């Protein structure tokens, strides 16, 4: 059931600071309805600090805008998903059985 509203954001590639370094400026690319599934929640201890990793899946309908994301080889770096005021980095994108009906975005919660 696609009952969660998400925003897919794209990083702006043209903005630079006064030193010429690229700015991380995220722009709204696409708003859509999604199904949200929490896949795993791992906790690990590293260098005396406790960290957690939340992997989730957003399933959305296939569209022309989604097709452009799938075809972009650098899409996992150029796009992210915003859901309930939290940002998720895209790890993997899957067009289920190449049927162009639904697309799964495996994402990691940005801490």
Looking at residue 37, its pLDDT comes to: 93
Residue range 4-12+24-109 in CATH 2.40.10.270: yes
What pLDDT score was predicted for residue 41? 62
Angle, CA of 73, 65 and 63, to the nearest 5°: 115
pLDDT band at 10 (very low <50, low <70, confident <90, very high): very high
Per residue in 94-105, pLDDT tens? 998 889 999 999
pTM above 0.75, yes or no: yes
What distances in angstroms separate CA 54 from CA 25, 32, 91, one per listed residue? 24, 22, 12
Using DSSP's 3-state secondary structure scheme, residue 110 falls into coil
- What integer pLDDT is reported at residue 51 of this predicted model? 54
Q: Which distant-in-sequence residues (6+ apart) come within 8 Å of 64 by Cβ? A: none
What is the C-alpha separation between 54 and 38, in angstroms, rounded?
8
Distance of CA 43 to the CA centre of its chain: 21
Over residues 33-82, the pLDDT tens digits come to: 999 998 766 655 555 555 567 899 999 999 999 999 999 988 899 999 99
């Amino acid at each position: 059931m696609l009952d969660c509203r998400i925003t897919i954001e794209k990083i702006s590639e043209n903005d630079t600071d006064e030193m010429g370094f690229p700015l991380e400026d995220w722009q709204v690319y696409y708003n859509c309805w999604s199904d949200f599934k929490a896949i795993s929640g791992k906790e690990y201890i590293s260098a005396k600090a406790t960290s957690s990793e939340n992997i989730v899946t957003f399933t959305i309908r296939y569209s022309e805008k989604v097709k452009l994301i799938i075809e972009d080889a650098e899409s996992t770096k150029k796009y992210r998903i915003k859901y309930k005021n939290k940002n998720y980095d895209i790890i993997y994108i899957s067009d289920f059985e190449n049927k162009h009906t639904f697309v799964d975005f495996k994402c990691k919660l940005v801490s």
